[in-house]
Amino acid sequence: MRAEMEKRVSELETEYREGQRMLADLEAKQADLQQTMLRISGALQVLNELLAAETTPEPGAAEPAPEVAARQEVPA
């Protein structure tokens, strides 16, 4: 009976270590994904600001082209 319990303890310790390793891997992937999403968010913001600046008429400038005006109406 003792040998069976010791074997089970060993199995559970192995499973626990594997779970810790998997958790660390997932946390690293989460951090990478958060950084990627932050970069994408920044790129979106810059592009939306550039589009908005492009559609803002300057005094004495012609109206924006229809395709630019259409882009401005699409919600972000």
Could you report the per-residue pLDDT of 27-48, keeping only the tens digit for each?
Answer: 999 999 999 999 999 999 999 9
The one-letter amino acid code at 52 reads A
Q: How far is CA 2 from CA 9, 12, 15, 29, in A?
A: 10, 15, 20, 41
The one-letter amino acid code at 51 reads L
Query: Residue 66 pLDDT more than 70?
Result: no
Q: Quick one: pLDDT at residue 18?
A: 98
**The domain containing residue 32 runs over which residues?**
2-73
- Report the alpha-carbon distance of residue 64 to residue 76 in Å, rounded: 19
Structure tokens at 14: 């192995």
State the total domains in the chain.
1
Structure tokens at 54: 């492009």
